[in-house]
Structure 1
Amino acid sequence: MNIENQLINKQFHDTFTMNHEHTHPVQVLGDAYLQENMKESPDLTMIRFAQGEVYFQHKDYEAAIFKWENIDNEFQPWARKNVADAYFELDLLGTAEEIYLSIDTDSDVLKIEVLLQLFSLYIQQGKLEKAVDAIKKAVFLNPDYPDVTRIARVFFEDHQDWQNAVELAVNEAMRTQEITWFHTLKGYVVEGKTKKTAPKYFIEALTILYQNDVRQFEAISVAFWQSYKGEENYFNWLEEFNQLMQKLDTQSGYHWNELSVIYHDTYFELINGDKQIKEIAKIVPPHLQNWLRISSDTYRLIASSAVLAWSDLFTKSFDAEVINDAERMIEEAMPVGHSLEENYQLFQSIMEWARRHDVLMGARFEWMVKELLDLETNHVIIAGMSGSGKTEFVQELLGDHVKAENTTATVMYKHADYKELTSISDTAIIPLDSMDDLRTGEKRSDQVLVDYKNSLPFLSQQRMAVMDTPGLSSSNKFRNDVFQYLHFADSLLFILNAEYPLTDRELDIAVKIREQSPSLPVHFILNHMDAASSEEEAMQWMDETADRVSTYFPKATIFAYSPQYDPTEQLKDFAVFLAGLNEGRHLMQERTEKMLHYIQKSIKFLLDKRIEKENALIDDMNWHEEMLTKLNGAIHQLEDMEEEKVKNISHSYRDIKKTMEDKLAAAIPDILRECSQLIREDSDFSKLHIQLNDEMNERVQQYISEKVLPEYRESIQAWIMESEQEFLTGQAFLVEMGDSFNELYGFEKLQLNCDFRILEDWKRDADRLTHGTVRLDKANIMLRHTPTQMLLKSAGKIFGLIPQNKTMLYNKYKQFVDNEDYREVASQMTDNFIQQFELFEKALDRDIQMFFQSPFAVLEETVKESHMTIANDNQELEKMRSNPEVYHDPLKLFELKWKQYEWMTKKAQTPKQYI
């Protein structure tokens, strides 16, 4: 054991006791102390150091401290460390820490031992940050020091200090290149302890591991990949790792099975449509390039097709060398890993995305695509000109118990153990009770496909479904009913009339069909062969038709048919004919190509819809702007009309009231003067003024009740009738206005109905005001305090009792009543009477406004709706224009998948042989 190990383990005293096995170390050291002390220049330092160790081992820590405190030679740093150890054992942790920290030495061993002691001390004190610092310093000084990295790793793990644990594992893995440290790091990765750490931190370690163990490199790379997935560092990991892979020499014979899988899965996750292209544009090309380099046999076709598809859509993404490698690999790859079902899943993804964006492809479109999955049934279109006998031929295939329908809809007959009719249109899939439903209501046959299931033995035996399309004529020879199903069908049988086979019109249609769907096998049925007068003529017809057909359709075959032939034998021959048509065909491959056609069509449709939607928003905004102008104009018109009605009706009422006022003002003075007849010479002049005053009021009251009110009532009734006509005129104008707007809106949006209840309120108020007795407040006509009246009243009281003075008073009263100016009194009495009609008059303007209140509210609400629609359209338009990638990018990525599947389908293609 070397001196450092002795000092570490406090066994330096063995240098004194090694030859004294049977003597206690204390005695041995005591004897040595006495012997040394007897020397002329004794050096007791080393003996004291050794004695301190013995005392320490026997837990006599105070004696040990005493011995070690007197050490002043080269052992002094160790002695101070031992003193601190003794205080540590005495649980005097503060003193121990102070001494540990004061030790100054050049020995890395002593430094590490001090740090390890401080590490333990800090753990005991609960000072974990200081403990971490101490152990990290120890590792930094000498990571090869016995157990120091193990102690650090265990401590970090126990205290879940994963950052330092990962750092330790990475550093040690790179330093030692030992696989155990990489296993430790992998464990941390699998447990998710590294997912918050920047991926770049691990690249150097991964590089070193690759140089030493490729298999372990792959395993830990996959672990990192899976841990970062779904985390904020995921894209950073993909970028860093692909940069690393590009630098590594991966052209060895190693098979990257695990990474091939994860490269495959990640690629399709990146292009699943929920990420913007700008997010993945930098990541995908190096990702695909690396995938191409390491792909296993299982994924070679997928990887190479992915590279070529990405290059098709995003040119200049790869060097020419990468493209050449992809083209070479796709030629060498086995045609595996792609199926019709995968294409359908892509189609479903597109449809789901379209539904989320409120863009519908149509129920019929989706139904046809789903029907392509039925590989047990061949779809055969039956087409022909009107009068070609097409319906008779279809009837032969269906059998006697099912009637071939003559309808303007395309009917697909398919065998089933039950009967079921379904109308499939662009808008809905609707069950039918019978074919008659197609001719009524919403189920009419325009642009409808009928799925007709029934027991159809011949179709079942031949594993086919027959699509009977409407007969063609010169006026509709290119109508969509036939052409829209060409990519859905597996074959097309064109019915020809044997007497006039393949006319120019028929040839035009057949050539058009080939142009629309070049891969669709087209064959011909030569109908009405029984019209031939002899077998020789029938053979001549067949030969001439075959020659004409082969010129344009060299792979087409012809079947001779006649409704007069034996049905059983004819169906047998036709079954043989069908078998020949299908021989050597690969239905899965053909359906896959058809599915790709519909995927491409759906993507193009959705891209066009994006432009249509933007244009529709602009058109909708412009239309609502125009409507807003019209609506505001209508409101101004209504305001003008309301103002006019208020003016006309109110002024008319005021004219009536003014007439009544003038009449009262003129009549009341005359009534009052006529009361002079009541004055007689024998009147009681002391009370005459009171009697005259009462009579005058009564006569005015009687005049108003018997004369004024009836006339006023008649005038008011006439005025209400005139007002009603005014209102009716206004309502008629508003009805016309509403009709005009509703015609523009396309539905009954505006109901501009006025409130005619106002007229009933007026009639009720008029009756209340003009019926019955109107009691006026009694006016002081003869009781006023004018000088003349005061004089007459005083004279009447004084002289009224003297007979000879009555003549004088009579004359004076008579003269006063006849000549008095009653205008002020008449005005007061008129005002008194008119006052009860003033509230009615004041309410007229408000009432007329209430009459038009509802039309105003409707127009203003419509204006508000228009503003909201314009604002929403503008917001949507701005959103579409400011962030077009939200719509375009998913479709671009769908197109990318379609391109890839197209490349894979081309690889799977084999020469088609149609008889």
Structure 2
Amino acid sequence: MTLEKQLINKCYYNTLTEGSENEHPIKVLGDLFILEQQKEVTDLSYIRFAQGEVYFQNKDYETAIFKWENIHNELMPWAQKNIADANFELDFLEIAEEYYKLVETDSDDLKVEVLLQLFTLYIQRDKLEMAADSIKNAVELNPDYPNVTDMARSFFEEQQDFASGVELAVAEAIRTESLFWFEVLEGYVKEGHTAAIAPSYFRELLMTLYMINEARFESLVAALWDSYKQNDLYFQWLKEINYLLLDVNPRRSSNWQELSKQYKETYLELMNGTYLIKDLSDYIPFHLTNWMKIATISDTLAASSAVLAWNELYPAWLEDSVVSEAEDLVGQSNHTNKHMGDIFLIFESIRKWANSKDLSMGERAESIIDELLDSNNFHLLITGNEATRKASIVNRLLGKEMTTASNSSTVLFKHDEQAEVHVITDQEEKSISVLDDFMQIAENEQTHIRCKMPIPFLNKNNLSLIDTPLLTNQRKSKKDVIPYLYLADSLLFVLNSDSLLTYKEIETAVKIREHVPELPIHFLLHNMEQSTSNQVTVEWLEKTTSWIHTYFPNAKVFASSQFDEHNSQLEEFIQSMVNGYSLGEGSERKILYYSKQLIKLLPKKRIELENSIVNTIKWNEEMITKLDGAVNQLRDTEEEKAQIIKRDYSKIVNKVRQELMASIPDLLKDCAELIKEDTDFENIHVTLNDEMNKRINKHIDETVLPKLHEEIQIWIASSEGEFSDCWALLNEMSVSFNQLYDEEKLSLACDFKVLDDWRRDIDRMTRSNIQLEKFTIIKGSASSQLFMKSAGKLLGAISQNKGTLQNKFKQSIKNKDYTKDAQSITNTFMQQLEFFGKTLERDITIFFTNPFDELNRAIEENQQEIKANEQSLNNMRKNPEVYTDPLTLFEINIRQYEWMNHADEKVFEYR
């Protein structure tokens, strides 16, 4: 054992007690201590150091500390470390930490030991950051020190400090080239602990691993690839891995299963229409170059075909050597395996992208495609040049009269236990329930009808039957029928058997083949009245069949007799068309057609969408103008009605005021009659005031209020008529706007509760027994004073004549000016009526509040829609590549598919 090992394990004392195994080390060291003291030049440090170790081993930590404190030679750093260890054992952790920090040494082992002890101490004191620093320093100082990296890894994992764990694993993997550390790192990657680390961080690591073990390299790369998916660093990773593979230049002979899979999946993601071509230009060339290098046998054709497809559109992107290699690989590939799934994925990508951009193909196209994708039936299309014979065959197969010679629609007949008919145009799909409606629509409209009902023949033979208008009709009819030719698995052309086959009939069939070269076309000679055993008929049939086979060598020809009552021969003929036909292979051809058609259609749809947005903006602007006009009209109406209603009410109030101002003085003057000869002139003012107030209240209750109530009721009825006129206007306005919106958008209802509130308030103000406050009309300063003012000095002379006094007092009452009293009484009575009049404008505003709110809300919604559409329009015009680039990518996908499936043939330029 080396000296440092002894010092680490605290067994240095064995060097001093060697040969004295039978004696206790304390005794042996004590004897050595005494002998050393007897020397002229003593050095007791070694013995004391050894004694400290023995005491420590026997847990006499204080004595050990005492011994180690007196070490002053080269062992002093170890003694300081041991003192710290003893204090650690005594649980004096702060003191231990101080001693550990005092150690100064050139020994790497001692430094590591101190760091490991501090690491343990800090964990115990819950100073985890300091513990992490200690173990990191230990690893950095001497990563080969026993267990130091294992301790670090365990600690980092326990503390969930995977950043440090990843750093440790990467460093150790590169340093040791041990597969263990690569496996540890791969575990971290799969757990997601590296997803936020820049991909360039792993470059040296991956280069190292590639040189060591290719299988482990592929596994780690696949794990990193998965971890960066759905991550902001994904494209950095793609760039980094492609640069790395270009540098290492992997051998094609290796079986890169996982890596080839990752490259293929990523390529499909890049090609799904999400990314612009300018963004892909930094990735696609290197991606394809590397994919072709590492592709498995099953993926080699896909990778090389992708190279050729991209090279057709962007020849400057790829090296000539890469393109040449791709051509060689395509030429060497086995093309017997058709890649049907690829074209389906391409089509779904196009369709999904189109839907995300609101580029609708139209309901009819969607219905045809859904039928193609969802159906496992054999689609038989029946057509011909003679409508009556074609209709006859269709009805025979259906077992009922379902079509006529004058049909203009294309009808898809399918078996289903439940009858269900849908009429489908480009704009909409609707269900109809009456069979007569179906027949009428089929005759009069050029549309698509999907008819499901119990049809035994179709059910028995797993057939779907397509009945189209005649192809001899106008060009538009042909255009409408062509998409169904690609839905069909086979076409049955019904011929006129009453005469020899004409060139016009064969020309129609040839034109169909020009449109759909792969579509099997067979012929049926209908209504043969004579038995086919008749020699003339047989010769005629042979001649017709020979002519058909001149143009259609593989066509089947069948002579259908009207005497085939149970359709057995016809059914056998149909079954012969189905036998041996691969639905899967046909679907591939159909989907390829619709994929190409969709790519051609979508640019037009984008223009239509742009025009639609422009038209929508214009429509919204026009609607805002109309709505603004309605608001102004409503505001004028509100002002007009408010003026009329307030004016009429003011007339009533003014009339009442005038009547009171005229009648009250007379009522008061008439009270002079109350003065009699026996009147008590001292209290006459009380009597007069009581009677005057009584007569005023009676007059108001019995005369004024009834007339007022009647006139106000007439006013309310008139106001209700004015409001009704407004409601009629607003109702007409609502209908007009809702027709423009094509929905129940506006409901310009007014608040007629205002009238109920008015009736309630008027009833309260005009009911009987209104008690006004008591007015003092004749002052209480003594009625005699009133008389004295009138009679002057005569009062004394005629004081004994009561008759004269009575007359004079009466005259004073009658001649008094009651204008101010009448005004005060009238003001008091009119106060509620006038306050009510002031609230009329507010109530009329409430009546119109909802229509104003509805119109303003509609204006705001139209403004918001204009803003949103203008933003969409600006985006479309500012970034046209958002629409054009995905279509280019889909075009490349289709070209790749065609290279894959027709590489042994000449692949023509994409059109």
TM-score band w.r.t. shorter chain: 0.7 to 0.9
TM-superposition CA deviations, 1:842-861 (whole Å, max 9, x none): 42463465356344322323
Q: Match of 1:791?
A: 789
> Is 1:157 aligned to 2:154, yes or no?
yes
Please report the RMSD computed on the Cα atoms of aligned residues, expressed in angstroms. Answer: 6.0
Assess if the C-alpha contact under 8 Å between 1:190 and 1:223 holds in 2. Answer: yes
Rate the CA distance shift 1:791–1:172 in 2: closer, same or farther, 3 A.
closer
C-alpha deviation, 1:382, in angstroms:
1.5
Q: Match of 1:592?
A: 588
> Is 1:201 aligned to 2:208, yes or no?
no
C-alpha deviation, 1:609, in angstroms:
5.6
Q: Structure 2 CA distance, aligned partners of 1:23 and 1:712? A: 136
Counterpart AA for 1:262 = Q
Q: Match of 2:854?
A: 861
Q: Structure 2 CA distance, aligned partners of 1:43 and 1:859? A: 115
Counterpart AA for 2:111 = L
Counterpart AA for 1:741 = F
Q: Structure 1 CA distance, aligned partners of 2:588 and 2:439? A: 36
Q: Match of 2:122?
A: 126
The equivalences for 1:355-374 within 5 A come to 365-366=365-366, 368-372=368-372
The equivalences for 1:577-588 within 5 A come to 579=576, 587-588=583-584
Q: Match of 1:564?
A: 562
Q: Structure 1 CA distance, aligned partners of 2:227 and 2:721? A: 84
Q: Structure 1 CA distance, aligned partners of 2:838 and 2:707? A: 24
Q: Match of 1:491?
A: 490
Q: Match of 2:60?
A: none
Q: Match of 1:302?
A: 302
TM-score by length of 2: 0.75
Rate the CA distance shift 1:441–1:830 in 2: closer, same or farther, 3 A.
farther
Q: Structure 2 CA distance, aligned partners of 1:374 and 1:714? A: 78
Q: Match of 1:334?
A: 334
The equivalences for 1:43-62 within 5 A come to none
Counterpart AA for 2:859 = S
Q: Structure 2 CA distance, aligned partners of 1:669 and 1:66? A: 131
Q: Match of 2:867?
A: 874
Q: Match of 2:909?
A: none
The equivalences for 1:241-320 within 5 A come to 241-251=241-251, 253-271=253-271, 282-309=282-309, 316-320=316-320
TM-superposition CA deviations, 1:289-308 (whole Å, max 9, x none): 21111111011122223444
Rate the CA distance shift 1:477–1:384 in 2: closer, same or farther, 3 A.
farther
Q: Match of 1:742?
A: 738
Q: Structure 2 CA distance, aligned partners of 1:159 and 1:221? A: 24
| 1:114 corresponds to which of 69, 87, 110 | 110
Assess if the C-alpha contact under 8 Å between 1:192 and 1:227 holds in 2. Answer: yes
C-alpha deviation, 1:174, in angstroms:
4.0
TM-superposition CA deviations, 1:881-901 (whole Å, max 9, x none): 569999986996687467435
Rate the CA distance shift 1:460–1:672 in 2: closer, same or farther, 3 A.
closer
Assess if the C-alpha contact under 8 Å between 1:389 and 1:495 holds in 2. Answer: yes
Q: Structure 1 CA distance, aligned partners of 2:789 and 2:32? A: 163
Rate the CA distance shift 1:753–1:83 in 2: closer, same or farther, 3 A.
closer
C-alpha deviation, 1:488, in angstroms:
1.3
Assess if the C-alpha contact under 8 Å between 1:488 and 1:594 holds in 2. Answer: yes
Task: Please identify, of 384-393 and 764-773, the stretch whose mean Cα deviation from structure 2 is larger.
Answer: 764-773
Q: Match of 1:641?
A: 637
Q: Structure 1 CA distance, aligned partners of 2:24 and 2:753? A: 128
C-alpha deviation, 1:736, in angstroms:
3.8
| 1:651 corresponds to which of 647, 651, 673 | 647
Assess if the C-alpha contact under 8 Å between 1:422 and 1:429 holds in 2. Answer: no
TM-superposition CA deviations, 1:43-75 (whole Å, max 9, x none): 988xx898789768866998999899899xxxx
C-alpha deviation, 1:17, in angstroms:
11
Rate the CA distance shift 1:396–1:113 in 2: closer, same or farther, 3 A.
same
SS in 1 for 2:383: strand
**Where does structure 1 lack aligned partners over 5 or more consecutive residues?**
106-110
Counterpart AA for 2:589 = E
C-alpha deviation, 1:637, in angstroms:
2.6
Task: Please identify, of 127-136 and 314-323, the stretch whose mean Cα deviation from structure 2 is larger.
Answer: 127-136
Q: Structure 2 CA distance, aligned partners of 1:430 and 1:65? A: 102
Q: Match of 1:393?
A: 393
Q: Structure 1 CA distance, aligned partners of 2:646 and 2:458? A: 88
SS in 2 for 1:250: coil
C-alpha deviation, 1:863, in angstroms:
1.1
C-alpha deviation, 1:776, in angstroms:
7.4
Assess if the C-alpha contact under 8 Å between 1:338 and 1:904 holds in 2. Answer: no
Assess if the C-alpha contact under 8 Å between 1:495 and 1:524 holds in 2. Answer: yes
Q: Match of 1:108?
A: none
Counterpart AA for 1:572 = Q
Assess if the C-alpha contact under 8 Å between 1:335 and 1:904 holds in 2. Answer: no
Count of residues in Structure 1 that have an aligned counterpart in Structure 2: 879
C-alpha deviation, 1:429, in angstroms:
8.2
SS in 1 for 2:288: helix
Assess if the C-alpha contact under 8 Å between 2:69 and 2:80 holds in 1. Answer: no
**Where does structure 2 lack aligned partners over 5 or more consecutive residues?**
58-62, 907-911
Q: Structure 1 CA distance, aligned partners of 2:129 and 2:776? A: 110
Counterpart AA for 2:322 = V
Q: Structure 2 CA distance, aligned partners of 1:503 and 1:789? A: 138
Q: Match of 1:626?
A: 622
Assess if the C-alpha contact under 8 Å between 2:100 and 2:118 holds in 1. Answer: no
SS in 1 for 2:477: coil
C-alpha deviation, 1:566, in angstroms:
3.7
C-alpha deviation, 1:95, in angstroms:
8.3
C-alpha deviation, 1:185, in angstroms:
5.1
Q: Structure 2 CA distance, aligned partners of 1:715 and 1:95? A: 108
Rate the CA distance shift 1:392–1:778 in 2: closer, same or farther, 3 A.
same
Counterpart AA for 2:485 = L
Q: Match of 2:325?
A: 325
Task: Please identify, of 768-777 and 297-306, the stretch whose mean Cα deviation from structure 2 is larger.
Answer: 768-777
Task: Please identify, of 129-138 and 19-28, the stretch whose mean Cα deviation from structure 2 is larger.
Answer: 19-28
Q: Structure 1 CA distance, aligned partners of 2:23 and 2:284? A: 80
Q: Structure 1 CA distance, aligned partners of 2:187 and 2:723? A: 89
Q: Structure 2 CA distance, aligned partners of 1:695 and 1:165? A: 109
Q: Structure 2 CA distance, aligned partners of 1:359 and 1:778? A: 84
TM-superposition CA deviations, 1:702-756 (whole Å, max 9, x none): 8777876776666556655654554454444434433433333334444445455
Task: Please identify, of 342-351 and 448-457, the stretch whose mean Cα deviation from structure 2 is larger.
Answer: 342-351
SS in 1 for 2:491: strand
C-alpha deviation, 1:243, in angstroms:
0.9
Q: Match of 1:423?
A: 422
The equivalences for 1:502-581 within 5 A come to 517=516, 519-528=518-527, 530=529, 557=555, 559=557, 561=559, 564-567=562-565, 572=569, 575-576=572-573, 579=576
C-alpha deviation, 1:653, in angstroms:
3.8
Counterpart AA for 2:632 = H
Q: Structure 2 CA distance, aligned partners of 1:758 and 1:37? A: 122
Rate the CA distance shift 1:624–1:507 in 2: closer, same or farther, 3 A.
farther
TM-superposition CA deviations, 1:623-679 (whole Å, max 9, x none): 334333333333333333332233333333434444555566566667778889x69
TM-score by length of 1: 0.75
TM-superposition CA deviations, 1:306-333 (whole Å, max 9, x none): 4445556777543343344334333333
Counterpart AA for 2:833 = F
Assess if the C-alpha contact under 8 Å between 1:392 and 1:563 holds in 2. Answer: no
Assess if the C-alpha contact under 8 Å between 2:263 and 2:291 holds in 1. Answer: yes
SS in 2 for 1:478: helix
SS in 2 for 1:850: helix
Assess if the C-alpha contact under 8 Å between 2:68 and 2:82 holds in 1. Answer: no
| 2:897 corresponds to which of 856, 879, 904 | 904
C-alpha deviation, 1:385, in angstroms:
5.7
SS in 2 for 1:126: helix
Assess if the C-alpha contact under 8 Å between 1:782 and 1:789 holds in 2. Answer: no
Q: Structure 2 CA distance, aligned partners of 1:674 and 1:717? A: 32
Q: Structure 2 CA distance, aligned partners of 1:505 and 1:816? A: 128
Q: Structure 2 CA distance, aligned partners of 1:669 and 1:133? A: 109
Counterpart AA for 1:380 = L
C-alpha deviation, 1:595, in angstroms:
1.8
> Is 1:482 aligned to 2:484, yes or no?
no
